[in-house]
Amino acid sequence: MSKNKEIDYIPQHKLRLSFMPWLYFRLKDKHLSWAKPWQDTLQQQLMSLETVDIAERCFIAPEAKLFAEPGRLIKIGEGSFVAADSVLHGPISMGSQVSINHHCSLDGGRHGIHIGDNCRLAPYCTLYAFNHGMSLEKPIHAQAVNSKGITLGNDVWLGARVGIVDGVRIGHHAVVGMGSLVSKDVPDYAIMAGNPARLIGDRRELSEEELQRLADEIGL
């Protein structure tokens, strides 16, 4: 059955793009004619309301929540996207071609989250660049908050539901498998998995077949 030409499909297209933003970068002129003005307006409004700097050719889902008070800049590099239902609280800096998929939660604390170029964060990743004590001398809500910051190098892939704790640096070209909790620094090219995450391989030392097998096992 052919589509009803009287139906307005644009709202559904917008919703699809919000949850699958990579499709925005594949749009042809027919759809860009409404999608680009929609994004331009949304991004300009966001930059007027919050301390947010958005480069060219980015996509920000209207359902994403970005909060950046003065001194807590969120800087988004060229060609990056933030998908629906993600919550970002600055300070956060992203390089170019960074993908924040739906339902991610990032809080930069005092010293920030710094994400290099070409990084991919799968759905439901959580990065919190702050922590607090749990001394019995005070209730939890009264504990002092501290922050060291989180850094992701270039070309890092975090699988779905990966958690990164404050103070961690993820090296360039590292991969972290689904559901892992990373509490210690990760070397360049490392393949990590588990809770707590442990080193299970080096991308430079494995064949294409071995890399694919590991990818299948750790569920990116």
Active site residues: 132
Of 77, 125, 67, which is closest to residue 100 (Cα–Cα)?
125
| DSSP symbol at 142 | G
Residues near 72 by beta carbon (within 8 Å), at least 6 away in sequence: 51, 89, 90, 91, 108
Task: Give yes or no for a contact between 66 and 91, defined as CB atoms under 8 angstroms apart.
Answer: no
Closest CA to 121 of 166, 155, 77: 155
Bridge partners, residue 28, by sequence: none
Strand partners, 104: none
